[in-house]
């Protein structure tokens, strides 16, 4: 039933686009971008699921080889950044008849960074957020997710700490989850996250400021950035 519902939703999107936007000058670009959104997001979701499964294949605890920064950034770019930030902005540009390829490349670059910041914040909030505030109980540690926290913990830990992660990460019980959270405290992951957040915001603003005055209005970048700026939920 779920697969059928998903097919109905997807087909309805293109039906509505055909009904309301067929006469728009950028209709072909809009349809192509929507197809691209489904493809890219599907690839990201698939990589995320396969990573989680591969992490659990080891017979001596968690398979830590899957928790690498390149893989993490690829998942974020495909699964989160594109459909959440890149695609909506580029769709709006086509609706406004902005078709310059360079402008679309600039939007993709900046919005991808905002999407990464958003996902890293989400990973941090999953571990440290107050369930009463965020409306859920975080499960990334128990699920063995390729999270920014575990990727960076592995980049900064010693051999003993690495073995602790291997034996306890991705285990569905409270005791082992607590062991991982204690290790994150030892590694001062909160400080690492805050430093990352500051650096990324500065990098995004620098890239926005490099845009020429006659190009895109900066509001299209500062509006989404304002929503993720030091967010808590």
Tens of each residue's pLDDT in the chain, 233 residues: 889 999 999 999 999 999 999 999 999 999 999 999 999 999 999 999 999 999 987 778 899 999 999 999 999 999 999 999 999 999 999 999 999 999 999 999 999 999 999 999 999 999 999 999 999 999 999 999 999 999 999 999 999 999 999 999 999 999 999 999 999 999 999 999 999 999 999 999 999 999 876 678 999 999 999 999 989 88
Q: What DSSP assignment string belongs to 2-65? A: HHHHHHHHHHHHHHHHHHHHTTSTTHHHHHHHHHHHHHHHHHHHHHHHHHHHHHT--SSS--GG
List C-alpha distances in Å: 187 to 161, 171, 180, 218: 9, 20, 11, 37
pTM over 0.85: yes
How far apart are the C-alpha atoms of 105 and 51, rounded to whole Å?
29
Nearest Cα to 91, choosing from 220, 180, 181, 183?
220
How far apart are the C-alpha atoms of 76 and 117, rounded to whole Å?
10
Give the chain's domains with CATH numbers. Answer: 25-207+219-228 (1.10.600.10)
Residue 120 near residue 225, CB atoms below 8 Å: no
Nearest Cα to 147, choosing from 120, 171, 174?
120
How far apart are the C-alpha atoms of 231 and 121, rounded to whole Å?
8
List C-alpha distances in Å: 48 to 79, 102, 193: 8, 30, 21
């Amino acid at each position: 039933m779920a697969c059928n519902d998903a097919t109905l939703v997807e087909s309805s999107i293109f039906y509505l686009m055909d009904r309301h936007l067929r006469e728009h000058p950028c209709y072909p670009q809009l349809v192509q971008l929507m197809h691209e959104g489904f493809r890219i997001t599907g690839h990201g979701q698939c990589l995320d699921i396969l990573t989680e499964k591969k992490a659990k294949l080891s017979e001596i605890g968690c398979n830590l080889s899957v928790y690498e920064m390149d893989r993490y950034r690829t998942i974020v770019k495909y699964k989160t950044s594109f459909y959440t930030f890149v695609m909506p902005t580029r769709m709006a540009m086509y609706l406004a008849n902005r078709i310059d390829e360079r402008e679309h490349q600039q939007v993709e670059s900046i919005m991808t960074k905002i999407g990464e910041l958003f996902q890293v914040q989400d990973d941090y909030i999953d571990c440290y957020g107050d369930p009463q505030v965020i409306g859920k109980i975080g499960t990334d540690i128990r699920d063995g997710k390729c999270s920014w926290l575990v990727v960076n913990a592995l980049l900064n830990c010693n051999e003993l700490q690495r073995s602790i992660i291997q034996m306890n990460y991705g285990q569905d019980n409270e005791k082992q989850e607590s062991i991982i959270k204690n290790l994150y405290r030892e590694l001062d992951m909160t400080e690492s996250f805050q430093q990352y957040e500051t650096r990324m915001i500065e990098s995004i603003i620098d890239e926005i400021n490099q845009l020429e005055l006659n190009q895109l209005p900066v509001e299209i970048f500062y509006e989404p950035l304002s929503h993720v700026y030091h967010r808590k939920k």
